[in-house]
Amino acid sequence: MSQQPQGGSSRVPSSHELRLLLQATNELMDHTLSFVRSMALGCAVKLGVADAIHRGGGHVFLHDLIAALPNPVTASKLPHLGRLMRVLTTSGVFAQADDGAYCLTPVSSLLVSDGGKRKNQTQLVRLHLSPLVVSPFTNMAEWFTSDDGEDTAFKMTHGADFWGVCERHAEFSKLFNEALASDSQFIMDAAIHGAGRQVFEGIKSLVDVGGGTGEAAKAVARAFPHIKCIVLDRPQVIDGIPAGGPVEFVGGDFMDFIPQANALLLKFVLHDWNDKDCVRILRRCREAIPPRQAGGKVIIIEIVVGSSSEAIYHATQQLYDLHMSMVTPGMERDEKEWCKLFMESGFTKYKINPLLGLRSIIEVFP
């Protein structure tokens, strides 16, 4: 015997309303389960799927893929690997030919290392999807409602800020440096060999502030041999890097000291810091460069939220902004926020060049 609705009969939704309701339910589930796509991507990176397809000539069937993986999965997991690949082909990471074989796409081509012979972004994916980075996002609601004074969800989760966790976990620190180095190779190639080349022309000396292992400075030195390139970073970052070569390494804290140079490069540095610290860093930069008439400038490679008219870039910029604000005290900034920092730091003019997809090259002049 069926139950009757209490309080009288409810209105029966129209067929149009039902379609909208079902569509909304689907969208809600897609948002809810979107983390599965990220985890599937991370799994493919760990398994080495892109390299296996590359070694197979770029056209590999599922049963061959299992045997080609660096650490082959067991035969009983074949159906589950098929489900993984189905999600990743639907999302565009891989493609599937008419005969069912899996192929690389422009996205998965970025994950091909070819034994370290090719520039790739596998370590950047590993960094963003590492448990230490992901776990704070499961605590966002608790962080928003907490009054413990922690400035990031990352610190509330791990009991230390990002740099403190790097000091405690050597493997994580290594992953972080490798991820930034690989990303620098891609971005600097695009900046130097694309429309951004003119930004570096006419420079005589350059300091890469917080330049890590020096991949960006090395790219500049290769393209412009006349530029004297220096990397400034913490001693624990540059210790062990062989002396010699086209780049000089200087250990130090850029909050306190930056070597003098014709131009300074800050690549993915300022988004780690709050406004107060950014102004402090930029004032140090201002002290280290000559007047504009003598060629002094600061070159910043960062996201400028809203710099692109393409929706896909804007959406990813917003994701990066939330990501940075949970992991670090920093953020991704729009042009108005960047302008405020520059003016408070004593600079008089800036130019934003949205040449690098998600990121822009910003020239800042004293």
CB atoms within 10 A of CB 83: 10
- Chain position carrying tokens 């008089």: 348
Query: Residue 282, CB half-sphere, CA atoms under 13 Å: how many?
Result: 29
Contact criterion met (CB below 8 Å) for 311 and 322: no
CA–CA separation, 90 and 198 (whole Å): 40
Residue 102 — φ and ψ, nearest 5°? -90, 145
Coil vs helix vs strand at 103: strand
Residues 6+ apart with CB under 8 A from 303: 271, 317, 320, 321, 332, 333, 358, 359, 360
Residue type, 91: S
In DSSP terms, 216 is beta-bridged to none
Q: Which residues are catalytic?
A: 271
Nearest to 154 by CA among 39, 60, 169: 169
How far is Cα 267 from Cα 300, in angstroms, rounded to an integer? Answer: 6
Distance separating alpha carbons of residues 351 and 273, to the nearest angstrom: 21
Could you tell me which residues are beta bridge partners of residue 301? 267, 361
Strands (E), the chain: 94-96, 102-104, 205-209, 228-233, 247-251, 263-267, 297-305, 333-334, 349-356, 359-365
Which tokens belong to 19?
């379609």
Strand 205-209 vs strand 228-233: parallel, antiparallel, or unpaired?
Answer: parallel
Handedness of CA 272, 256, 206, 117 (dihedral sign): negative
